[in-house]
Amino acid sequence: MAADTFLLELGVEELPPGAIDTLSDALAEGIRQGLDDANVEHGQVVAFASPRRLAVQVARLADKQPDREIERRGPSLAAAFKDGEPTKAAEGFARSCGVGVDELIHLKTDKGTWLGYREQQIGEATTSLLPAIVEHAITALPVPKNMRWGDSRVEFSRPAHWLVMLYGKQVVEASALGLQSSRTTRGHRFHAPQAFELDHADDYLACMENAWVLVDRDKRRERIREQVLAEAEVNEATAVIDEELLVEVSGLVEWPVALTGSFDERFLEVPAECLVSSMKANQKYFHLLDAKGNLRPQFITIANIESHKPELVIDGNEKVIRPRLSDAAFFYDTDRQRPLGERIKELSSVVFQQQLGTLADKAHRSGAIAAFIANRIGGDVNQAQRASELAKCDLVTEMVQEFPELQGTMGRYYATHDGESHEVARALEEQYLPRFAGDEVPATATGLALALADRLDTLTGIFGIGQRPSGTKDPFALRRASIGVLNILIKAGLDLDLRELLELAASQHQNLPKAEGLVDEVQAYMLDRFRAWARDEGIGAEVYLAVRSRPVTKPLDFARRLKAVHAFADREEAAALAAANKRVANILAKQGEGAGLDVNAGLLQEDAEKALFEAVTACRQQVSPLFAEARYRAALDVLAGLRQPVDDFFDQVMVMADDDAVKRNRLALLASLQGLFLEVADIAELT
């Protein structure tokens, strides 16, 4: 069976840069899935893309499906013949196979013998399968918003202009999006606008690069990264390369060329975050820092053309950025003319959620929660309340309305300008920490209190109106809020009871339609998020279940137990003790006895049960202070020493003795053993 390279290229007008990767990967996956479904052997399937094209290259694609033997089963022999003559069932089956009854075979199975038919099916040519595979893959693309062009009723993300389909040197005859396939493609819009033909599918990358198009997404991104770093080095500066911006810029150019421009130093009086947001959001520029980490009045732009007069391109970009930075400076100056405190009343007209009131209502509720938390963690109650009052005020400033990503950051700048305390100003920014997995948590007590209070208010409120997240729908980001609360409590080492916090937060809301059982529901939801937290920490689901089975409501304590059980699970004794605990749990569940009884040493008869009693008693004395200090790992290390006496007990002692008192005493001993482990987790789950 021969094989060759297949190439598909769909040429379009400039695609939305944020959609290119998704569309490109989906197209490659659609082709791969189609080939696999058709049972066509192939090598690596690679996606390529640029603003003006989506392409897929398939290596070592077989020229046909493999031949295969088809076996069909018909009626049973009993139903196929009567008095030695074929029945209508036999004749109908033969006709469906295109043969006579005498050409059918007998198929023997465990359930009897049946009429059957075998034929050799010749595999179809791959070139005859590809048109349908490609059409289906293109039709199934997750296009965010379709459009029509010209007088055609064809729809796609952007107008489509050419379609290349090559199998080796051969053009695969097909049509899609109103286009007929060919070997004709196009290069860079300005450097190589003329159409040209591809001789072979293997020539694609080299030909496109000769036509000023870097169609390999990764190569194009790395070219941009290298150029930006090189420009920064020339300017004796450090370039800040935001990966999301890098991806976006890569989706805007086919032939990247980095150029350095500058702006007036007077703009540096505006907070650097404002200037950076303007450069990134509006112009897609990379910013530069000096040796001290301060913003420099320079930027790097990525042109889509290698100009003979780059100074003109630079000049154009400098002219464009100037009014943008002027806007940022105007917003900053305008906002500072009014203290944040004067904006508190404006929050009364900004709705947080229709059933939960305004941002002013939320600030009032959060203030009570934050004050309580601040008191518990040794913070300043008055500062926590002041921070809560100001927490959302920057949302109604000109700067944040223009650049929403600056919420909190501008609150800190404006609060500092207004003479608010350093702690309050920092808390206004820290309330949004952590923003993502692995992000830092607030460093100040006021920031911790505010960050927790804001999330707890949102969680109880949204659950209280019946808007619990379902499936992939989580419009209020309650999953992120829950994990944020857990991370803050754990990373900051706050030994707070989640239930107590939720009860306080719930009590701040008035007339919640789902108030009954609200705290139980939110608590369960949040503790269930520990599964994801544990996974991020490399802790298995069975360890999570072992700890989740216990009534632990302090996240910091929950995390300590998780880590201790995770370490215990790696010990040699863990499997045996987990199995023993599972056995103990089953015995006690069936008998319903022993858990509330004390062990009577006088009723111990066998050496093995006496040894277990002594070991359990000794362990209890050792681990009690460890449990009190939440040193769960050390406690489990002690309990690991019970493996041998536990094994000996089950090998040598009959729990269900004829003497009822002896039986109950042995059950009490097992309950005592189980109770030691349950102080940490139900390790029976480790089985």
Provide the pLDDT for residue 374: 97
Arithmetic mean of pLDDT over the chain: 93
Provide the pLDDT for residue 603: 84
pTM for the structure as a whole: 0.81
Q: What is the pLDDT of residues 2-37, one digit of tens each?
A: 999 999 999 999 999 999 999 999 999 999 999 999
Q: What is the pLDDT of residues 466-476, one digit of tens each?
A: 999 987 788 99
Measured N-to-C along each axis, helices 632-639 and 555-569 cross at an angle, to the nearest 10 degrees, of 30
Provide the pLDDT for residue 592: 67
Does the structure show a pLDDT above 70 at 333?
yes
The span from the CA of 429 to the CA of 450, in Å, is 10
- With CA atoms as reference, report the closest residue to 35 among 155, 167, 157: 167
Q: What is the pLDDT of residues 611-644, one digit of tens each?
A: 888 998 999 999 999 999 999 999 999 998 889 9
- With CA atoms as reference, report the closest residue to 582 among 682, 481, 665, 482: 682
* Per-residue CA distances from 665 to 577, 607, 613, 675 (Å): 21, 15, 11, 15
The mean per-residue pLDDT over the stretch 590-596 comes to 64
List domains and CATH numbers for the chain: 3-65+125-210 (3.30.70), 68-119 (no CATH), 217-335 (no CATH), 352-528 (1.10.3210), 569-686 (1.10.730)
324: number of Cβ within 10 Å: 18
What is the CA angle 282-288-293, rounded to 5? 125
Does the structure show a pLDDT above 80 at 597?
no
DSSP 125: B
Provide the pLDDT for residue 595: 55
The span from the CA of 534 to the CA of 550, in Å, is 16
Q: To the nearest whole percent, how much of the chain has pLDDT over 90?
A: 72
> Which position has the higher pLDDT, 379 or 667?
379
> Which position has the higher pLDDT, 172 or 70?
172
Provide the pLDDT for residue 573: 87
Length of the chain: 687
Provide the pLDDT for residue 607: 86
The mean per-residue pLDDT over the stretch 270-277 comes to 96
Q: What is the pLDDT of residues 450-488, one digit of tens each?
A: 999 999 999 999 999 999 998 778 899 999 999 999 999
Identify the weakest region by mean pLDDT among 184-193, 298-307, 598-607: 598-607
CB 392 within 8 A of CB 370: no
Strand extents, DSSP E, 160-199: 160-167, 170-171, 175-176, 179-180, 184-186, 195-197
Long-range contacts: 398-401, Cβ < 8 Å, 24+?
A: 398/330, 398/331, 398/334, 398/335, 399/274, 399/328, 399/331, 399/332, 399/335
DSSP 61: E
Query: 594: pLDDT confidence band, cut at 50, 70 and 90?
Result: low
Does the structure show a pLDDT above 80 at 596?
no
Query: 194: pLDDT confidence band, cut at 50, 70 and 90?
Result: very high
Identify the weakest region by mean pLDDT among 253-262, 354-363, 586-595: 586-595
Provide the pLDDT for residue 68: 80
> Which position has the higher pLDDT, 675 or 501?
501
Question: What's the alpha-carbon Rg for the chain, to the nearest Å?
Answer: 35
Does the structure show a pLDDT above 60 at 656?
yes
Provide the pLDDT for residue 593: 58
CB 452 within 8 A of CB 501: yes
Q: What is the pLDDT of residues 382-413, one digit of tens each?
A: 999 999 999 999 999 999 999 999 999 999 99
DSSP H helices, 529-606, are 530-536, 541-548, 555-569, 574-591
